Amino acid sequence: MTQSDDLAESRVRAAGAGLTPDDMTWLDGLNWRDAAVPAVTGAAQLADYQRRERALNAAVAHLSFAERAESPEGKLAAAIGAKVADWKDKASGEDTD
């Protein structure tokens, strides 16, 4: 299976899990790369990130742990979750930087 086939499967799973066309455009803008997920910059964006993380996790819930970890959706969900955690840490004054 090629990388484009993998991405096509990821897109189908993500859309089936409830990601909107706007979410898909956002993910396309990141080229579906977890390293490209930007930091959360506001409360409205935080809600979007949390919703996207939930949907991406739901998209791969049926996969094994290893398959989730290797899937674009799983990697993106983890990266988004990390950005959410960073935002929450800063908001609560727990920033260690």
Can you give the residue ranges of every domain in the chain?
3-31+41-91
Q: What is the pTM of this model?
A: 0.88
Handedness of CA 28, 34, 37, 43 (dihedral sign): positive
Quote the CA–CA distance of 76 and 32 in Å, as a whole number. 7
| pLDDT value at residue 94 | 62
- The pLDDT tens digits for 5-43 are 788 999 999 999 999 999 999 999 999 999 999 999 999
- The pLDDT tens digits for 74-90 are 999 999 999 999 999 99
Q: Determine which helix (DSSP H) or strand (DSSP E) holds 3, and give its type and residue range.
A: helix 3-16
Handedness of CA 1, 78, 61, 15 (dihedral sign): negative
The average pLDDT across 57-63 equals 95
Under a CB-based contact definition with an 8 Å cutoff, are residues 95 and 40 in contact?
A: no
